[in-house]
Structure 1
């Protein structure tokens, strides 16, 4: 079974032993970050450093001429990935016999929100989420689509994986995040992730709901939740809180925005890419979910992209909604965390991979070969040798 390991360019650049180490795990491919959000990451085997602090979301290569005179535009990385760090790392990995695909994070960018506040999601209370661009706004959508095309199609890459190609919401894991004091539940998270910017207001109005009245209804519905009331399970909880009609209107608007963004991003990548270039989306099969694994309609997304990368660390159930719509060449990649300190289980990787295959997975993704300890990597290599 084909397996791909996630890496950052800084895991490879300046670390001559890194490409062979990854290849020796038994993977055939690396999914290498080309555009990534801010982060602080361990590099436990690098000859020169142990911690990399990426201060802001950045492209990890020199931005192209298409951005000249445009606002917003992607920012190049700082000292953590100078110059064409992606290109250098990709060349080193290719020389070790590994295929390289790009890893592109789209609608998750705190610097974009800090420099251009009007691009951000605005909740029902008027609070802005600078990490979450509103994907309903035409100018923001145009930026994200162009970013997808440029960052995905880097020299030497045979495909791409688009992360955050949809809505981001309240849940973020922001720096020193302190938002867990009230248990919002899935329904409360949804309501706190609704956007009420001007463009979203127009969208709600077109579906028969005054945006100011809708925002007031959301605030009223959340009052008991702030005092500890349970929200009810899943979508039924949203309908219970604000009513079935308003809930359906918000969902219809948001899902339409996500679907059309996904269509536009994939089309832009394919227009810029050579024939045979593979396009996958990191995806959650529940269309109203927010986050890095953007909520999608399984049938729709598999009619647009070549496949999906699905989080399976907690089990392979999320694969099931995609299997009914998969074609002969559809990629259903099970994403398994292999860093024990981040909640992964490298010791059970072989069993987890077999379970994923049983649920329909055609490939594996291993998160994350650069962050994992030596012990974790030894377990990964052993598991991949058993899987074959």
Structure 2
């Protein structure tokens, strides 16, 4: 039996008494609702009070109890509707409609906090700050992330936490209008620019960090200015020993955070948005699925590309781990009519659950595609 779920925003539900029933009509049994989330502009085509929500900074959508925080603290939202606890209100409405709820928790993606504390953000080899990306190796960021999880567990009876951005965000996940494509940076160069060398990472990386930074700059500059490719991957560009040191550092930080999150979650399910490539940075953390400890209750794998690529990704993941696989599929991309076939393919390839992105953003045609996929794949 395949579990089908959909993502939704709190502002899709709060202030709209028909929203929960409308999502239930898609046929899904689970709704993943943002509890902590980055800035975004979103359409709300179904809401009775608004059509566009501009969430202009990352925010916590749960109750913020000031006494529970030290150091970094998330900001509350100031958009959508007036509600001191939009996450609680949204999940209560979904529960009343017979739907299972999950907390969608984005941890390190916050421009507002990165700008206020740049020393805690990712620093690349040029000592340039990625203000949208908090570095999880920084103790203050680690504490901030765990406090989010602790507060959700203390305040809400949600059965599942889905963790997004619990590692590093890199070069490819910015927050401004993107003007970098003309440089034609290779994937390897982008991975090089995504390596964090902030003070916390520099202390923990088992390499000569000044030499590493200088080599990264030389490699990237050579590609930018002379058109000489950086390499096929980090091992090719930096050598296997240094690439392995970077992967070990990332693995240690991410597994440490997940281990403590696992302890805080107790009996709740913990799902991890992930990819099997350890050199990847972004909202889906790059980890070696095989042997990742502590293992989450499920890996959420993004399947937003072609059916062929998504099926290959699921098949590869099943060879690496016995942990359940949840396919995150894009219902608001091109060709929604292909959604049922995509879901059939990825379930046959090993996905035991599907999450459709996104119930609130989907047009009538895209909602119909979700409904068809749920009906055809059980």
Same fold by TM-score greater than 0.5 = yes
For the residues of structure 1 that align with 2:26 and 2:357, how far apart are their CA atoms?
Answer: 13
Alignment match, 2:355: 365
Equivalences for residues 280-359 of structure 1 within 5 A: 280-301=271-292, 303-314=294-305, 315-324=310-319, 326-327=321-322, 330-339=323-332, 343-359=333-349
Deviation at 1:258, TM superposition (A): 2.1
Deviation at 1:154, TM superposition (A): 4.7
Q: Which runs of 4+ in 1 moved over 4 A?
A: none
For the residues of structure 2 that align with 1:221 and 1:111, how far apart are their CA atoms?
Answer: 31
Deviation at 1:152, TM superposition (A): 5.5
TM-score (norm 1): 0.90
Unaligned runs of 5+ in 1: none
Alignment match, 2:366: 376
Deviation at 1:232, TM superposition (A): 3.4
Q: Is the 8 A contact 2:105 2:163 kept in 1?
A: yes
User: Pairwise CA RMSD of aligned residues?
Assistant: 1.8
TM-score (norm 2): 0.93
Alignment match, 1:53: 54
For the residues of structure 2 that align with 1:178 and 1:150, how far apart are their CA atoms?
Answer: 38
Q: Is the 8 A contact 1:302 1:325 kept in 2?
A: no
SS of 1:299's partner is coil
Q: Is the 8 A contact 2:273 2:285 kept in 1?
A: yes
- How many residue pairs align between the two structures? 371
Alignment match, 2:75: 75
For the residues of structure 1 that align with 2:124 and 2:278, how far apart are their CA atoms?
Answer: 19
Residues 153 and 280 (structure 1), Cα distance of their counterparts in 2 relative to 1, 3 Å cut: farther
Unaligned runs of 5+ in 2: none
Alignment match, 1:257: 253
Q: Is the 8 A contact 1:124 1:216 kept in 2?
A: yes
SS of 1:319's partner is helix
Residues 44 and 176 (structure 1), Cα distance of their counterparts in 2 relative to 1, 3 Å cut: same
For the residues of structure 2 that align with 1:166 and 1:221, how far apart are their CA atoms?
Answer: 25
Q: Is the 8 A contact 2:311 2:349 kept in 1?
A: yes
Deviation at 1:121, TM superposition (A): 0.6
Q: Is the 8 A contact 1:308 1:331 kept in 2?
A: yes
For the residues of structure 2 that align with 1:333 and 1:344, how far apart are their CA atoms?
Answer: 21
Per-residue CA distance 1:158-202 (angstroms, 9 max, x = gap): 211111111111111412122222222221111101111112111
Deviation at 1:325, TM superposition (A): 5.2
Q: Is the 8 A contact 2:39 2:55 kept in 1?
A: yes
Q: Is the 8 A contact 2:54 2:79 kept in 1?
A: no
Equivalences for residues 1-388 of structure 1 within 5 A: 1-68=2-69, 70-80=70-80, 82-151=83-152, 154-204=155-205, 207=206, 209-227=207-225, 228-233=227-232, 235=233, 238-270=234-266, 275=267, 277-301=268-292, 303-314=294-305, 315-324=310-319, 326-327=321-322, 330-339=323-332, 343-388=333-378
SS of 1:181's partner is helix
For the residues of structure 2 that align with 1:266 and 1:184, how far apart are their CA atoms?
Answer: 37
Per-residue CA distance 1:255-306 (angstroms, 9 max, x = gap): 2222222222222222xxxx3x211011111122111111122123474211
Per-residue CA distance 1:188-243 (angstroms, 9 max, x = gap): 11110111111211123xx2x3211211111111112112333333x2xx233233
Q: Is the 8 A contact 1:22 1:369 kept in 2?
A: yes
For the residues of structure 2 that align with 1:160 and 1:251, how far apart are their CA atoms?
Answer: 25
